[in-house]
Chain A
Amino acid sequence: MKTARFSFLLGLSLLLMALLVPQPIQAQTIQDILQEHEEIIAKGSRRTIQPAIDALRDSGLPEAQRVMELWQDKALWQRKDDKQFFLTEPLEGRTLQLIDLISGQPVGTAEKSDLKQIKPNSGVRGLIGAALVQFQLMDPDPLTRRDSLIAIQRDPKPTHLPALRGAIDGETDPDLKALKERLERLLTITYGETDAKRITAIESFAGDLGVDARAALNPILTTTRVAVTEASDVNIARQLTPGQNDFTADDAYALLIAENLAYPAISNDEKRLALVANVVDGQVAGFAVETLNTYEARDQAYSALAAEGLVPADVTRAAQQKALQRHEFYDVYNEPSQSVTDAARGTLQAIETRVGLNQTADLALDGLSLASIYFLAAIGLAITFGVMGVINMAHGEFIMMGAYTGYVVQLFIPDYTLSIIAALPLAFAITFAAGVAMERTVIRWLYHRPLETLLATFGISIALQQLAKNIFGTQARPLTAPGWLDGAWVINDVVSISYIRIAIFVLALIFFALLLFILKRTRLGLEVRAVTQNPKMAASMGINTDKINMLTFGLGSGIAGIAGVAIGLFAQVTANLGSGYIVQSFMTVVVGGVGNIWGTLAGATMIGSLQKIIEFFNPSNTLAAQTYMVIFIIIFIQFRPRGIIALRGRAAGD
C-alpha cells in the first residue's frame, strides 16, 4: 500500500520534472549536474558547496561515486572557456590530454593555461568524504557495506550520521539492516541533533549488553574537576568538599594551582634546594647548617630567607586553607545537557545490573570449567587414595606422561583430530601400565606404611620429572587442539566459554559417569568397594585383593593420563606440568571426602568455583587468590576433617 503510493508520487514528480526540464531526465549526465553547480564547485567554499555534493550523491548515476572520489583527489580540471569538466593526463610541454569523465576516452588536448584545476580545501574534502560514506554504505557488495560500517563504528564522526540514516531504507540484508539501525542509534547518542532524539536513543539501549553501547554511553558521563568561586550554569555531577571522600585538601589546592587560582606552596624538596643554594659560611640566614635536620628548622630558615627577599615566600597551611574556603569544587559533566546525562546514568545503571547478572553466569561457567579440570586431575587420585589409602605423589607425573603421550602422538599423526582420538586411549594404556608397574614393584610392599608410600612415590615423582626433562628437554612442547575446538561459544558480549573447556567439561562428565558405572554396576566395582571397606574380610570371601589393588591403581593412573591429554590441550606441556596440579588434586580429594566419587565431584566444584570467585574479586592477583584458597581449605578442614561427603561407619575407619 505504502509502496504503491510512494511509486505513484515518484511517478508524478518524474512527470512534472520531465515537463519542466526541456531535456528528458534520463539524458542528464554527470557533466550536466556539474555544470548546474559549476559556480560553487569552482568557488570551492565549505559553506556553499553542499547543494553540489547533494546533487551528485542523489543523482543515482553510476559514475557519481567515482567522480566524487576524483574531485576529492583534486583530479578534476575545468576548461576555462566553456566551463566543461575533464580529467587530464600530462603530455609533453604544457599541453594536457583531456579525458572524458564518463567514457574515459581522450577527447582532445588543451594548454595548461586554458584549464583550471579544481582544488577543494580540506573542509570541502571532508564533506565529500561524508557523502562518499553513503555510497559505501549502499554499495552492492555486502562485504563493502559491512566493512564501512565497521570503519564507522571504530571512528565515528558527526557527518556519518546523515549518511547512515540515508542508507538504512535501501538496505536489503536483514543482518546489515539491524547493524545499521543499531549504529544509527549509537551515533545519535553522541551526535543527535536534539536532546530529545539523543535521550530516545540512549533509553533504547537500556539492558543492552553490548560493549559498544557502554562505550557510547560512558563518555557522556565523563566529568572534569573544576574549582570556581561561584557555581555558574554548568551540568554538575557532584559537589566536592576538600578533605572528604578521597578528595584531600592537597588535591583541592593542586586544582587551584592548576587553574591559576592560587600560588603553589614550596615543597620540602624545593625548600631544601633553596637552602642549599643560600649556604653562606656554614650558615643559612643565621641558622647553622648542622641544625637543619628537621623540617621545622628548615621552615624557619626558609622563612628567614624569604623575609630577606632571597626566595619566594612560602604559602602557609593557613593561607592554603583560606584559599580553599574561597572556592567551591565540583565534578562537572562535559556534556552540558542535564536531561541527557540523567538518561545516560539511568540507562547505564540498568545495563550494569544486567551485566552483573551475566557476569555471575559467566563466573559460574568459568568455575564449572575449572572444576571439571580439577575433577579430571583429582579423580584418579581419589580412586587410589580413597580406595587404597595410598598417597601417590607421582600422580602429577602420570598427568605429565599423558600430556607427553599426546605430544608424541601428534609427531606421528599430523591430523589433530585423529591424533587426539588416538592419544586418549594410548595415554590411558601407557599410564595404566606405569601405574600397575609401580604398584607391583613399590607400593604393594608399603600398604601398612602410608607415610612411607608418600615418600617413596615422591622419589618416583622426582625421578620421572627429571627423566622427562632429559628426554624432552626443558622447553614447553606444543599439544595442539584440533581446529574445531578453536574459538569460543559466545552467548553475548559478557558470557562466553571456549570450546576446549566445554570439551573438558564433557570429558569430565563422561568419566564421572563411567567410574560411577564401574564402581556401582560391575563385578570389579563390587570387589573394589569390598576391598575398600574391609580388605581382610574381602580376601576371606574369595576376592583376590592383590589383583583388585593392582587394577584399581592402574585405573587411577590411566585416568590421570587422560587428564594429562586434556590439560595439555590448553596448558604448556613441560616436565613440571603435573606438579602444578598435585597439591590442588590432593585438596580436591581431601575437601570432597575420601573414597567417594561424589565427594571428589563436590570438592572439585567447590574448589573450582571458589578460586574463580576469589579471582573475580581480585582479578589482578591470581597468587593472592591461590593463597586465600589454601587458607580457606585449611580452615574448612577444621570443621569437616573428613571432607564434604564423609564415609560413615566401618568404611571410615583408618
Chain B
Amino acid sequence: MQRSFIARNPSVLIFLGILAVFTLGATILSEGFGIGLISTSMIKTLGKTLCLCLIAIAMDLVWGYCGILSLGHFAFFGLGGYMIGMWLMYARTENIILTSLAQAPIPPTDDEIRSAIGNQIFGVVGGSDFPLIWAFADSLTIQLVLVVLVPGLLALVFGWLAFRSRVTGVYLSILTQAMTLALSLYLFQNDSGLRGNNGLSGLQNIPGAKGVPQSIISIWFLWASAIALALGYILAAWMMSGKFGSVIRGIRDDEARVRFLGYSVETYKLVIFTVTAIIAAIAGALYYPQAGIINPAEIAPIASIYLAVWVAIGGRGRIYGAVIGAALVSLLSTWFTGGQAPSIPLGFYTIHWVDWWQVLLGVTFVLVTLFAPQGIGGAIDRLVRKGTQL
C-alpha cells in the first residue's frame, strides 16, 4: 500500500527531498545555527512562506480538486492565528505582570493578577475585563485544540448550510466572500473581545522561551512550518490519490452525475471544506507567531482572493502547483513591494516597482487565466511528459 501510494504520487518524494534540502540549507546559512548568511528576518519570511504554501495546498484541494472556489479560507487561516495568538499574548503578559508584581510588598491575589493582565491586554480598547472567549487563554493545550476546533466548526456549519441548499459556483464564491467580510468586520469592532483593529501583537515572543534569541526561535518555527507543510502535502496527496480523491474530482467535473451515481455529494464537499479549513487554521497558527502581529485586516476578503491567485498561477489540481504558486508569488510580492527591486528608468518616466507591482500582478494574472489555465504546474507537467517520452 505504502509503495503504491508513493508510486502513484512520485511528486511526494521529490517534494519532501527538496523541502528537506531547503530547510537544512536555510538552517545552515542562518544566523541562529549556522554561518549567518541569511538574516533572521529572512528566515522568518521563509518560514511564513512555508505556511502560505500549506494554506495554498488547502485551497488547491478545495478549488483545484473539488471545484469550490472558496474566498473564505484566509478567514480560517486568520482564526487559527487568533486562537494561538490569544495564548501567546495572555501567557506573555502574565509573565510580565508576575515579574512586576513580584516586587510588591504583599503578594498579589489571583484577582489582582487577572485584572492587571486584563488591563494590560484590553487597555488599548478601553476595557479591562476578560471577554468570555478568553476563558481558556491561559491553557496552551486548550488553545491548540481551539486552533482546530473553532475554524473547523465554522467551516462545518457554514458548509452544511451552503451545500445543503445547493449553493454552487459563483454564488458559493460570493457567499464565502460574504462570510469572510462579516468575520473581518466583526473583528474590527472594539468590543469583539479581540482588541478590534489593534489585533493581537507581540506574538513573536514565545512564553517560556525567555532568553532564547529570535534567531533561534525563527529556526524552530521554520522547522515546525516545514514539518507541517510536509505532513500537509502527504495528507493531501494521500487523500486525493484514493477513492475519496476520485469522487472529489468527479464532483468538480460533473456534480450532477456523481450525485446520480449515488454518492452523497454534500457530505464529500463538507468533508473537504472542513478538512481544508483545519489545514488553513494550522497554517495560520504557525504563521502568526512568525509575523508577530495579527489584525482583522489580514482576514479581509482580498487576502482570500490573492490565495486563489497564487493557486491559479501555480497550477490548479496539482499539489506541487499550489506550493510553487504560493512560494513564488508571495516571495516575489515581498521582493517587489519591499522596495528591493531595482527601478526601471524609461527616460520620461521611472517605473518604481512598489507602484507597479500590483499592475504587473494583475495583468500577469489575466494572462495566466487566458493563456495558461494550467499555470506553472501545467508547464512542469508538459516538460515531465516530454522527458518520459524521450
A446 to B170, CA, bound (A): 14
Do A462 and B358 touch (CB < 8 A)? yes
User: Smallest Cβ distance from A468 to chain B, in angstroms?
Assistant: 10
Do B170 and A634 touch (CB < 8 A)? no
B105 contacts which chain A residues (CB < 8 A)? 276, 279, 289
A626 to B178, CA, bound (A): 10
Partner of B167, one of A275, A284, A298, A637: A637
Query: Nearest CB to that of B169 among chain A residues?
Result: A450
A272 to B169, CA, bound (A): 64
Do B170 and A463 touch (CB < 8 A)? no
Stretch at the interface among B50-58, B145-153, B179-187, B243-251: B179-187
- Check if B93 is an interface residue, CB within 8 A of chain A: no
Do A446 and B370 touch (CB < 8 A)? yes
Stretch at the interface among A81-89, A96-104, A543-551, A583-591: A583-591
Do B370 and A458 touch (CB < 8 A)? no
Do B366 and A289 touch (CB < 8 A)? no
Do A446 and B369 touch (CB < 8 A)? yes
- Check if A293 is an interface residue, CB within 8 A of chain B: yes
Do B106 and A292 touch (CB < 8 A)? yes
Query: Nearest CB to that of B171 among chain A residues?
Result: A590
User: Smallest Cβ distance from B339 to chain A, in angstroms?
Assistant: 16
A587 contacts which chain B residues (CB < 8 A)? 174, 178
Given A451-B69, A641-B167: A458 and B309 within 8 A (CB)? yes
Residue-wise interface mask of B (364-384) relative to A, using a CB-CB cutoff of 8 A (1 in contact, 0 not) = 111001100100000000000
Query: Nearest CB to that of A292 among chain B residues?
Result: B106
A621 to B185, CA, bound (A): 11
Do A459 and B363 touch (CB < 8 A)? yes
B158 contacts which chain A residues (CB < 8 A)? 634
Stretch at the interface among B4-12, B16-24, B107-115, B282-290: B107-115
A586 to B71, CA, bound (A): 14
- Check if A262 is an interface residue, CB within 8 A of chain B: no
Do A638 and B165 touch (CB < 8 A)? yes
A638 to B369, CA, bound (A): 31
Given A630-B179, A630-B185: A293 and B365 within 8 A (CB)? no
Which chain A residues in 610-645 approach chain B with CB under 8 Å? 621, 623-624, 626-627, 630-631, 633-635, 637-639, 641
Q: Which residues of A does B touch, CB under 8 Å? A: 272, 275-276, 279, 284, 289-290, 292-295, 298, 385, 389, 391, 393, 442, 445-446, 449-452, 454-456, 458-467, 469-470, 579, 583, 586-587, 590, 621, 623-624, 626-627, 630-631, 633-635, 637-639, 641, 654
Interchain Cβ contacts under 8 Å between A and B, 28 examples: A272-B106, A279-B105, A293-B108, A294-B110, A295-B109, A446-B370, A451-B67, A451-B170, A454-B69, A455-B365, A456-B370, A459-B361, A459-B364, A462-B359, A470-B356, A579-B302, A583-B181, A586-B174, A587-B174, A590-B174, A623-B186, A634-B161, A634-B179, A637-B167, A637-B175, A638-B165, A641-B167, A654-B169
Q: Which residues of B does A touch, CB under 8 Å? A: 67, 69, 105-111, 158, 161-162, 164-171, 173-175, 177-179, 181-182, 185-186, 188-189, 301-302, 305, 308-309, 312, 355-359, 361-366, 369-370, 373
Which 4 A/B pairs are nearest by Cβ-Cβ distance? Answer: A463-B362, A459-B365, A466-B358, A630-B182
